Amino acid sequence: MSPFNSYKIIYFTFFICLVAAIFPLPVSLNAFRPEWMVLVIFYWIIALPHRVNIGHTFILGIMLDLLLGSTLGMHALLFSLLAYFTSINFQRFRNFTLFQTTLLMGVFVFVLKVSLYWIASSIQVIVLHQSYFWSIFTSMLIWPCFFVFMRFVRLQFKVS
Amino acid sequence: MIAFCIILLIADSQFNIFSSARVYLNSIVSPIQYVADAPQKMFSAASESLTTRQVLMERNALLEKENLHLKADRLLLGELQKENEQLRELLNSKKQFKNKRMIAEVMSLRSDPFTHQVLIDKGALDGVYLDQPVINEKGVIGQVSQVGSTTSRVVLIVDASHGIPVRVQRNDAVAIVHGSGAWDKLTVPFVQSNADLKEGDVLVTSGLGGHFPAGYPVATISRFEYQEGELYANVTATPAAELDKSRYLLLLWNDDPLAGADLTLDSPE
């Protein structure tokens, strides 16, 4: 498939995940929302490291910052770091089993959440809610299904 | 790239460089926000159009009754306003009560998990400005913290970084109400142990900060505690408005807060 058509699919999945990241949920379920952006960035970087790079993830991070109304650069910084770390290790991560990548996803989301909290607490007065870390588990739960689905999408539309 | 991100972080948080650029940046992402908000809008529109005639008639009757009561109150209010104006004229201190206002709808999208914000569907094109006060029918909600061209963000009074000057309705004692970070709790810091505050006191905006017009209810005091030996009393309050449930908000235009104020210190004689 031509690069243009591949990018169409890739950007479309990014768009869907951005929408999912801010989609209105009841307050009680809000804490259980998986970190869609981490999942989608991780998937595309392992699958197509020559298509999705740090620049993309930086833009996505800025967009998420704007959508959430948080300080500009918070998510951009962390997504760029995530993309960097994933892209230098993508060959290793490709050979991981699904179970191993699930654990890895848990670690990533945990590090992301801790650093987000750390950055936010160093620049403004904030309050940490007890349910803040629940999304780690939902992200890990959803990752295998997400991975299989995304691979189906990639093969179906021959994104390369 | 990392250095760039860190510079961006510092620039935005410490020096507020992007406050003007954010209008354009926010407008770039607002299509995503509209897409994410659309399903809920559609569901509520569908459920509204699917109500039965019976329910509508009952609701209509209820609203008509309420309207009658409100109109009756308003008759009295007009009279009181006139009287108040006359009395104020006698005292040489005019005060304006009429502000321009606009109804905004909340777009119930997820926001930054550390802060309490809501997104509303009015922006710079409607004349919304930074630090604009936002209320609903029960009391103060918060103030505008970011403006986009068609959407803007409102930081709520319960946000940990928000403070609002108030006075006690009963005895005009002034205080400041800070957000606590929990949805239904506010703190009142720096209250002396012997201050005349009681549980159940209504706190209204004092208008001292210049951002909020005076006289709107903010909170009621829920707990007043003083432990022997401490510097200040431990006071918490509950917001007057149901912050997490209100769907329609009112934007107020508080053009010139000191316009009607009597700034001279000498007595009116």
* pLDDT one-digit tens code per residue, B61-84: 999 999 999 998 888 888 888 888
Q: Are B119 and B107 in contact, with CB atoms under 8 Å apart? A: yes
What is the per-residue pLDDT across B126-172, written as a single tens digit (0 to 9) for each? Answer: 888 888 999 988 889 999 988 888 888 899 998 888 899 999 988 88
Average pLDDT over residues B80-105: 78
pLDDT of B17: 66
**How far is Cα of residue A114 from the mean position of the Cα atoms in its chain?**
15
Rounded to whole angstroms, the Cα distance separating A150 from B99 reads 53
B75 assigned to some structural domain: no
Q: Transcribe A75-142 into DSSP letters.
A: HHHHHHHHHHHHHHSHHHHHTS-HHHHHHHHHHHHHHHHHHHHHHHHHHS-----GGGGHHHHHHHHH
pLDDT of B83: 87
Q: Are residues B9 and A71, on separate chains, in Cβ contact within 8 Å?
A: yes
Q: Are B179 and B161 in contact, with CB atoms under 8 Å apart? A: yes
pLDDT at A12 over 50: yes
CB of A119 less than 8 A from some CB of B: yes
Rounded to whole angstroms, the Cα distance separating B188 from B235 reads 5
Helix, coil or strand: residue B204: strand
Q: Are residues B114 and A128, on separate chains, in Cβ contact within 8 Å?
A: yes
CA atoms within 13 A on the CB side of B10: 5
Q: Which amino acid is at B19?
A: S
pLDDT at B104 over 60: yes
pLDDT band at B94 (very low <50, low <70, confident <90, very high): low
B112 assigned to some structural domain: yes
B92 assigned to some structural domain: no
Average pLDDT over residues A80-94: 87
pLDDT band at A2 (very low <50, low <70, confident <90, very high): confident
Say which residue the tokens 């009757």 belong to. Answer: B61
pLDDT of A4: 83
User: Which of B112, B121, B41, B30 minimizes the C-alpha distance to A19?
Assistant: B30
B27 vs B14, higher pLDDT:
B27
Choosing among A56, A122, A126, A135, which should be mutated to test the B contact, i.e. which has the most B CBs within 10 A? Answer: A126
All residues of chain B having their beta carbon less than 8 Å from the beta carbon of residue A81 are 2
Which stretch of DSSP H or E encloses residue B147?
strand B140-147
All residues of chain A having their beta carbon less than 8 Å from the beta carbon of residue B33 are 22, 67
Domain that holds residue B222: 100-256
pLDDT at B269 over 50: no
Q: Which of A20-24, A124-128, B145-149, B169-173 has the lowest mean pLDDT?
A: A124-128
Helix, coil or strand: residue B153: strand
Q: Are B146 and B22 in contact, with CB atoms under 8 Å apart? A: yes
pLDDT at B261 over 70: no
pLDDT band at B14 (very low <50, low <70, confident <90, very high): low
Q: Are residues B1 and A80, on separate chains, in Cβ contact within 8 Å?
A: yes
Average pLDDT over residues B193-197: 83
Average pLDDT over residues B10-23: 68
B233 DSSP β-pair partners: B191
Average pLDDT over residues B40-44: 81
Average pLDDT over residues A57-86: 85
Planar angle of CA A129, A132, A138, nearest 5 degrees: 155
**How far is Cα of residue B104 from the mean position of the Cα atoms in its chain?**
12
Planar angle of CA B69, B73, B75, nearest 5 degrees: 120
Helices (H), ranges, chain B: 2-10, 21-49, 53-91
Terminal alpha carbon distance of chain B: 68
B13 assigned to some structural domain: no
Six-digit token string for B132 = 């604009």
Average pLDDT over residues A72-76: 82
Q: Transcribe B83-146 into DSSP letters.
A: HHHHHHHHHT-------EEEEEEEE-----TTS-EEEES--GGGT--TT-EEE-SSSEEEEEEE
How far, CA to CA in Å, does A29 sit from each of A23, A26, A133? 11, 5, 13
CB of A13 less than 8 A from some CB of B: no
Closest-CA distance, A81 to chain B, in angstroms, reads 8
B174 assigned to some structural domain: yes
Q: Which amino acid is at A30?
A: N
B36 assigned to some structural domain: no
B6 assigned to some structural domain: no
pLDDT of B256: 56
ipTM for this model: 0.76
Predicted model pTM: 0.79
CATH code of the domain containing B182:
2.40.10.340
Handedness of CA A120, A125, A128, A134 (dihedral sign): negative
Rounded to whole angstroms, the Cα distance separating A126 from B206 reads 26
What is the per-residue pLDDT across A97-119, written as a single tens digit (0 to 9) for each? Answer: 889 999 999 999 999 999 988 88
Terminal alpha carbon distance of chain A: 6
- Number of domains, chain B: 1
Q: Which of A78-87, A139-148, A150-159, B25-34 has the lowest mean pLDDT?
A: B25-34
Where are chain A's structural domains?
3-156
Q: Are A119 and B9 in contact, with CB atoms under 8 Å apart? A: yes
Helix, coil or strand: residue B196: coil
Q: Which of A52-66, B117-131, B146-160, B251-265 has the lowest mean pLDDT?
A: B251-265
Rounded to whole angstroms, the Cα distance separating B132 from A56 reads 35
B139 assigned to some structural domain: yes
Q: Are B31 and A95 in contact, with CB atoms under 8 Å apart? A: no
B245 vs A14, higher pLDDT:
A14
pLDDT band at B258 (very low <50, low <70, confident <90, very high): low
pLDDT of B268: 46
**Percentage of chain A modeled with pLDDT above 90:** 23
pLDDT band at A159 (very low <50, low <70, confident <90, very high): confident
Q: What is the mean pLDDT of chain B?
A: 82
- Chain A, residues 42-81, CB within 8 A of chain B, namely 54-55, 58, 61-63, 66-74, 76-77, 80-81
Candidate from B5, B117, B244 with C-beta closest to A76: B5
